[in-house]
A and B are shown apart, each in its own frame.
Chain A
Amino acid sequence: MSEAVTPATTSIMETTAERQPLLSRLAPWLVFGLFAAVPLLAHAINDSFILVIATRMLIFALAALSLNLIMGYGALVSFGHAAYIGIGAYAVGILSSYGINDLLLQIAAALVVAGLFALVTGYLSLRTSGVYFIMITLAFGQMAFFFMVSLSAFGGDDGMSLSGRSTLLGADLLADNLALFYGVLIILAAAFLLMRTLVASRFGRVLRGTRDNPTRMRAIGFSPFAFQLTAYVIAGMIAAVAGVLLANQVQFVSPAYMTWARSGELIVMVVLGGMGTLLGPIIGATVFILLEDVLAHFSEHWKLGLGLILVLVVLGSRDGMSGLARRLRGGSDA
């Protein structure tokens, strides 16, 4: 991260009209700094599994970050976001089965396919709002899931194992877990900066305004649809990059990445960290993966524990259930 961070931070402070404390300006440095230091910890206690978990955190943080653009800044609760992770993962799996292992080509393919899928499904989904939007995105997500299940040429239900990680311009850079970790961290940091810029831009301002009061936005001359659709496409494309990274980490691709339950987990991550904040989804994903790992040690029914924690978070946070309810109602307020 560079000097460019500072001006963007101050401008967000101005837009929210109330000065933010020093702590929240330092928070991104803190979070990314702590992650950057994880390999040191792994080295010190000689536990390489920490690196694997941390990489997984970063990958899901990227996916949650993308969902937050539409959910937190656009009040568009998509229940089909895991489909884009799947699209990214299958871009890696399918291309590498044809001998195309280059990461950039795989990312390009993932972006194109995810972008087109988001454009078409978003165009149709955004004609609805609130609960109907949730249902139709869920349906499209499941459609993508069943499509991959039925595609037996690429493993179908069983998924497909990859023979190795992607290469970058011919070099086998990501083979090492440490290199993959820092590669993912850099991509997440770049996505974070992109998100911060987008949210503060004209585009982001229209998106945020529409989230809060769509009637007001129309009354000053905006037609929100195109802005929402653009956000939907951007979010899908970023989630696909997370899918590319996930396939690389686990070297396995499966329709299981795309189930509605996975989409639900992404929503949980965003809510857990705090919707509509820039760092929230990163923290939410980190905590979620941590709980998944820790609670799973104690009990098979770890999701019940997670559910309880989530309920407490939602009840306890200032925005709380009312904030969630307002977003679920979507653009129906006049």
Chain B
Amino acid sequence: MLEPLLAVKGLRKNFGALKVTDNVDLNVQKGEIHALIGPNGAGKTTLIHQLSGNLRSDAGSVVFAGQDITRLGMAERVHLGLARSFQITSILDGFSVLENVAMAVQARSGSSFRFFRDASREDEINIQANKALARVQLADRAYRRAGSLSHGEKRQLEIAIALATGARLLLLDEPLAGTGHEESAVLVELMRSLRGSHTLVLIEHDMDAVFSLADHVSVLVYGSVIASGEPSTVRSHPDVRAAYLGEEEIA
């Protein structure tokens, strides 16, 4: 097997006595869409926090593109090419939609210790930001206040921001959460179109989306990976069926 783009070994996180991440091993291959599923409270978001550097791990290691990033902060990991989106929408409500994305482009476009030129008029940055917006079909919303977008549009903006960081590995925490049917279709198509250019770790509850997109599925229950493999094998795994009993039908 090829060396994975992201290799997680023995990762742990406790909140008091609660083992939220319990000895997680995970390999994400370059170019794949790797779905991470599991019931509510399984520790998926916590794992994303640890992988993105938002939360320090108690033990274990995270290796990205051959480099040990276990001790790096969120900002440093983004510069190496690993970005994330948030389950609870986290955007700059008071800024325009374009500036939300332009900010991410600015972060990788030379020093931001520039004090005199008007940042909102930097064409290079705005052009790239507009491209990311077009990719999530938000181009016509560029000059709206981000806080005034509909919920679904905010989810699209989350992804545009992650794309605009220039990262090649995206950790997407329930990108479809709370979206309507049409918005969700747009997002699913978008994620499909990212195959080839990006590697995705996708947390999602919508099983139709998961099984239509994923190359690889890992199942997290009580902080442990109980199954990991091709979608068809995971779907028929007895432990997975047991874990999901009464939760949600695995279609």
A16 in contact (CB, < 8 A): yes
Of A18, A203, A219, the residue contacting B114 (CB under 8 A) is: A203
Given A17-B143, A219-B84, residue A202 in contact with residue B92 (CB < 8 A): no
**Segment from A88-96, A100-108, A133-141, A207-215 that makes contact with B:** A207-215
Set of chain A residues within 8 Å of B108, measured between Cβ atoms: 221
Q: Is A15 touching B120 in the complex (CB atoms < 8 A)? A: yes
Given A215-B54, A220-B165, A223-B75, residue A205 in contact with residue B106 (CB < 8 A): yes
A216 in contact (CB, < 8 A): yes
- A179-201 near B? 1/0 per residue, CB < 8 Å: 00000000000000000011011
B145 in contact (CB, < 8 A): yes
Given A17-B95, A205-B99, A216-B91, residue A11 in contact with residue B104 (CB < 8 A): no
Distance in Å: Cβ of A317 to nearest Cβ of chain B = 16
Q: Is A219 touching B99 in the complex (CB atoms < 8 A)? A: no
B96 in contact (CB, < 8 A): yes
Of A14, A206, A209, A219, the residue contacting B74 (CB under 8 A) is: A219
A330 in contact (CB, < 8 A): no
In the complex, which residue of chain B has the Cβ closest to the Cβ of A276?
A: B94
Of A7, A212, A219, the residue contacting B52 (CB under 8 A) is: A219
Set of chain A residues within 8 Å of B74, measured between Cβ atoms: 218-219
Question: With the chains together, A126 CA to B30 CA distance in Å?
Answer: 39
B230 in contact (CB, < 8 A): no
Distance in Å: Cβ of A184 to nearest Cβ of chain B = 24
- B65-86 near A? 1/0 per residue, CB < 8 Å: 0000000011100110001101
Interface residues on B, range: 35 or more
Q: Is B96 touching A198 in the complex (CB atoms < 8 A)? A: no
- B108-123 near A? 1/0 per residue, CB < 8 Å: 1001111111111110
Distance in Å: Cβ of A3 to nearest Cβ of chain B = 15
Among B52, B91, B93, B106: residue with most chain A CB under 10 A: B106
Distance in Å: Cβ of A194 to nearest Cβ of chain B = 9
- A58-85 near B? 1/0 per residue, CB < 8 Å: 0000000000000000000000000000
How many residue pairs link A and B with beta carbons under 8 A? The number is 116
Given A212-B93, A215-B90, A219-B84, residue A206 in contact with residue B112 (CB < 8 A): yes
Q: Is A18 touching B118 in the complex (CB atoms < 8 A)? A: no
B103 in contact (CB, < 8 A): yes
B161 in contact (CB, < 8 A): yes
Interface size on A, residues (CB 8 A): 33
- A5-24 near B? 1/0 per residue, CB < 8 Å: 00110010011111000000
Q: Is B73 touching A220 in the complex (CB atoms < 8 A)? A: no
Within 140-186 of B, Cβ neighbours of A (below 8 Å) are at 143-145, 161, 164-165
Set of chain A residues within 8 Å of B103, measured between Cβ atoms: 205-206, 209, 217, 220
Q: Is A15 touching B95 in the complex (CB atoms < 8 A)? A: yes
Distance in Å: Cβ of A77 to nearest Cβ of chain B = 18
Set of chain B residues within 8 Å of A221, measured between Cβ atoms: 75, 78-79, 104, 107-108, 165
Q: Is B75 touching A200 in the complex (CB atoms < 8 A)? A: no
A204 in contact (CB, < 8 A): yes
Set of chain A residues within 8 Å of B164, measured between Cβ atoms: 220
Question: With the chains together, A197 CA to B121 CA distance in Å?
Answer: 12
Q: Is A202 touching B112 in the complex (CB atoms < 8 A)? A: yes
Q: Is B95 touching A212 in the complex (CB atoms < 8 A)? A: yes
A302 in contact (CB, < 8 A): no
Given A202-B106, A209-B92, residue A219 in contact with residue B118 (CB < 8 A): no
A230 in contact (CB, < 8 A): yes
Question: With the chains together, A77 CA to B30 CA distance in Å?
Answer: 45
Given A220-B83, A221-B108, A222-B75, residue A212 in contact with residue B94 (CB < 8 A): yes
Distance in Å: Cβ of A193 to nearest Cβ of chain B = 11
Of B78, B107, B115, the residue contacting A197 (CB under 8 A) is: B115
Q: Is B107 touching A201 in the complex (CB atoms < 8 A)? A: no
Q: Other than the known A16-B96, A221-B75, A226-B113, what 10 A-B pairs have Cβ atoms closer than 8 Å?
A: A11-B118, A15-B120, A201-B115, A202-B111, A203-B114, A206-B106, A209-B103, A215-B54, A219-B83, A220-B165
Can you report 10 A-B residue pairs in the complex whose CB atoms are below 8 A from each other? A17-B144, A202-B106, A202-B112, A202-B119, A203-B112, A204-B115, A205-B103, A219-B52, A220-B103, A221-B75
